[in-house]
Homo-oligomer: A and B are copies of this chain.
Amino acid sequence: MTEFPDRLLSGYRNFMSGRYSDERERYRVLAETGQAPHTLIIACCDSRAAPETIFDCGPGELFVVRNIANMVPPYEPDSQFHGTSAALEYAIQVLKIRNIVVMGHGRCGGIQAALDLDMQPLSPGDFIGKWIGLVRPAAEQIQSNDLMTQTERQTALERVSIRNSIANLQTFPFVRSLGESGELAIHGAWFDISTGELWVMNDKGDFVRPDLVETALQAEEVSA
């Protein structure tokens, strides 16, 4: 076994002398009392779309699931897709988290793979192929539109997939009942890694830029 990567050790050293020295007490308390994150976020593994970075969140705030293409499978007690379901169950039933964000992003490799209808398995297990199966029907429909450019189809499927995952969240009985009673809120977001823009889903399912100026004014009023 080789040495632990220098890049990570030096990054850790920066963490300790930088952020951690400000947040030391916070970590200690969180260890003692346990975590009470305000949001469950389902994000992509992509190195360019890290939730803590994008939302400038610190320890204790976000309970984060990251998988290929930020997907939530439908509720199937005997389903293959247990990892994300287990994290969802833990977040809602144990940690009592009441805000869920499904965050996708531009240039998503998983979505690109889904649109590559001739893609060959990358190992005998074809794990990507099976995982992407969650969104393959939608991918086939979108890829059949030859009027759109590949980039337009990619962006379309990234957003369709977020809406899909939100619909799948609502097939979990414990999510649906909390949503119906108004105790749980579900949100969609899409991060443009090229421009840093965040688009959020409105109640029509459309992705729009939030009015950040207005939000700032409201936040100031609340804290005054």
Residues of chain A having any CB pair with chain B under 8 Å: 1-2, 4-16, 18-20, 24, 27-28, 30-32, 34-35, 37-39, 45-48, 50, 52-68, 75-77, 79-91, 93-95, 99, 101, 106-107, 109-110, 113, 122-128, 130-132, 138, 141-142, 145, 147-152, 156, 159-160, 163, 172-174, 185-187, 189, 193-196, 198, 200-206, 209-210, 212, 215-216, 218-219, 222
CB<8 Å pairs between A and B, sample of 18: A12-B54, A12-B212, A13-B212, A19-B53, A31-B48, A31-B194, A35-B47, A35-B48, A45-B91, A46-B63, A47-B63, A47-B64, A50-B52, A82-B130, A83-B131, A89-B125, A123-B172, A149-B205
B109-A90 in contact (CB<8A): yes
Residues in B neighbouring A20, C-beta threshold 8 A: 196
**Smallest CB-CB separation from A202: which chain B residue?**
B1
Name the distance in Å between A208's Cβ and chain B's nearest Cβ.
Answer: 9
B28-A194 in contact (CB<8A): yes
Residues in B neighbouring A57, C-beta threshold 8 A: 8, 11
B83-A60 in contact (CB<8A): no
